Structure 1
Amino acid sequence: MIDGIPKYVTVRDNLRERMRSMDPGERLPSESDLCEQYRVSRITLRHAVEDLIQEGLLVRRQGRGTFRTEGGPNTEHEVISDHILGFYRQQHDLGNVVRTKVVGNELVSDPEVANRLGLADDASLIRIERLRYVGSNLKQHVVTFLPATRFSKVLREDFSNGSLYAFLESQYAVRLVENEIVVRLQPIHDDIAGYFGVDDGTPVLAMDSTVFDEFGSIIAFGVALHPPRDAEVRFVIRAQKDVGPVQE
């Protein structure tokens, strides 16, 4: 481990950065070359690569190697896995052009949401409302709530281009490790129906998301709504690997 972080995570994150400069369809160096570059075992490297395959960033082709994902419509769907990237970083890493329209970023009071965040009923909350596009296609309407006393800088930030989660990590040293998802159908009304171009009361796919840090504190609660024409989310569920008594 490095500073308490498993070595495969360090390798995985570095590979993710490297892939941003790779062309779609470009082949990764051989497994032996990567093991030598990172000075890790094959088990550690395979763990890192497998995570990126699950995220949709890499594809393994039998007998040929592992390649950068080609991109295209099949990579635009959100993927829920055990890596807390958020929509912006996930789509950006896939090579997609991500655009965000910030509808609102304000202080509010909402006892029900405050309770979801583990706060008192009268706690001050930051409410961020955004429309998320991949290319020209609207993929999400998302409202995210955060504790105002802890994350006040969020109110001064423009999230039209960038990741909220990356901002929290860089500005507040938050490490996001768990995302509890509830998927349901929800009828939509008023402005949201207009955004999606559907009739008032149309049921859409809704995802409630509660994000935790490494200490078990609730960092954010959000609700993402997906337009009916594009209501597909892929879940990646992976069993915890038994790495034995010694961890790299």
Structure 2
Amino acid sequence: MAEGVPKYIAVRDNLRQRAQAMYPGEQLPPEPELCDQYGVSRITLRHAVDDLIQDGLLVREQGRGTFRTAKQGESQHEVISDHIRGFFRQQADLGNTVDTKVLDNAVVRNAKAAQRLGLPDDADLVRLERLRYVDDKLKQHVITFLSAARFPKVVDQDFSHQSLYDFLEHNYAVRLVENDAAVRVHALDTRMAWYFGVPDGTQVLEMDSTVIDAFGSTIAFGTTLHAPGSGEITFIVRAQKDSSVA
């Protein structure tokens, strides 16, 4: 396992790679066997597996075991549970091909975003602007703001092929547990209509997201424009559970 990475994260990431190579319906080895392979307790293993179940990659059947799920359709899922996973990781775990075009990654000042992050109006923020494609189709335009002082490494990263949330977890030990979202109808301006290939003024779903960590701190604020025709966003809400690990 990678040095400095929590055990359950290392196990989860390795299990994700294994599961992605499995056929739909294929069963994972029994828990005792996996515990021996990874040298971890059953509590740690279950913590890792639970994350992949919540991401839709695995399913646990009582009395039978844990299985690889079938590839799901193109509905866009924002999963709100005891562990927030980003769109990039969610779609990849569903077996979809995810590509990201980074339009901007820079330090800026934005009073509205700073207020949502609980920072002074003149605080330096990282502004990350991306286009997200699923199976070569543009699905989202996303602008995310974070504190530049707290997360200085973000501005130097290329997020074309990695998840922002995974990066924060691995580099800053941030565990995201809450996503406060507000959804509205939005008319596209000329620039965004050009990206989506539709007429100016086309109405789409716009979602503001305020993402919070396990300590109640606001980590990120962002706005997402969903592609025309994405008339459904599914929210899966689960009660938080004890996340202690061995």
TM-score w.r.t. length of structure 1: 0.79
Worse-matched range after superposition: 167-176 or 188-197: 167-176
Contact preservation (8 Å) 2:205, 2:230: no
AA aligned opposite 1:40: R
Change in CA separation of 1:202 and 1:64 when aligned onto 2, cut-off 3 Å: same
For 1:192 and 1:63, the matched residues in 2 are separated by 50
Query: 2:207 aligned with 1:197, yes or no?
Result: no
Measure the CA separation in 2 of the matches of 1:13 and 1:135. Answer: 22
Amino acid at match of 1:77: Q
Q: Which residue of 1 aligns with 2:107?
A: 107
Q: How does 1:1-248 map to 2 (within 5 A)?
A: 15-30=15-30, 39-40=41-42, 52-59=52-59, 66-74=66-74, 77-82=76-81, 83-240=83-240
Given that 2:146 and 2:220 are in contact with CA atoms closer than 8 Å, whether structure 1 keeps it comes out as yes
- Please list the CA deviations of residues 172-196 of structure 1 after superposition, one character each: whole Å capped at 9, or x if unmatched: 2322222222222222212111112
Mapped partners of 1:201, 1:78: distance in 2: 25
In the superposition, relative to structure 1, how do residues 176 and 194 fare at CA in structure 2: closer, same or farther (>3 Å)?
same
- AA in 2 matched with 1:172: Y
Q: Runs of 5+ in structure 1 lacking a partner?
A: 1-6
For residue 54 of structure 1, report the CA deviation from its aligned partner.
Answer: 4.2
Secondary structure class of the residue paired with 1:154: helix
How far apart are residue 241 of structure 1 and its match?
A: 5.1
Offset, 1:114? 0.8
How far off its partner does 1:224 sit? 0.9
The answer (yes or no) to whether the contact 1:55–1:79 under 8 Å persists in 2 is: no
SS in 2 for 1:229: coil
Once residues 167 and 49 of structure 1 are traced to their aligned partners in structure 2, the CA distance between those partners, rounded to angstroms, is: 20
List gaps (5 residues or longer) in structure 2: 1-6
- 1:154 CA displacement: 1.5
The one-letter amino acid of 1:166's match is: D
Q: Are residues 72 and 123 of structure 1, via their aligned partners in 2, closer, same or farther at CA, if it must alter by over 3 Å?
A: same
What is the CA-CA distance between 1:11 and the residue it aligns to? 7.4
CA gap 1:247/1:186 in 2 versus in 1, 3 angstroms: same
1:22 aligned counterpart, secondary structure: coil
* Equivalent residues of 2:31, 2:42 under 8 A apart: no
Name the amino acid aligned to 2:142.
V
Supply the AA of the counterpart residue of 1:81: I
Closer, same or farther in 2 for the Cα pair 1:57/1:191, shift >3 Å? Answer: same
Structure 2: which amino acid aligns with 1:78? H
CA distance in 2, matches of 1:61, 1:148: 44
Q: State how far apart, in whole Å, the 1-side matches of 2:150 and 2:231 are.
A: 33
Matched AA of 1:180:
D
Moved more, 113-122 or 15-24: 15-24
Shift of 1:230: 2.5
CA 1:113–1:135 in structure 2 vs 1: closer, same or farther (change >3 Å)? same
Report the residue type matching 1:223 in the other structure: T
- Matching residue's letter, 2:234: R
Alignment partners' CA distance in 2, 1:46 and 1:150: 31
Q: State the Cα distance separating 1:13 from its structure 2 match.
A: 6.4
- How far, CA to CA, are the matches of 2:241 and 2:105 in structure 1? 40
Query: What is the CA-CA distance between 1:133 and the residue it aligns to?
Result: 0.6
Amino acid at match of 2:133: Y
Letter in 2 for 1:130: R
Alignment partners' CA distance in 2, 1:130 and 1:194: 15
Deviates more, 1:109-118 or 1:164-173: 164-173
What is the TM-score with the length of structure 2 in the denominator?
A: 0.80
AA matched with 1:228: P
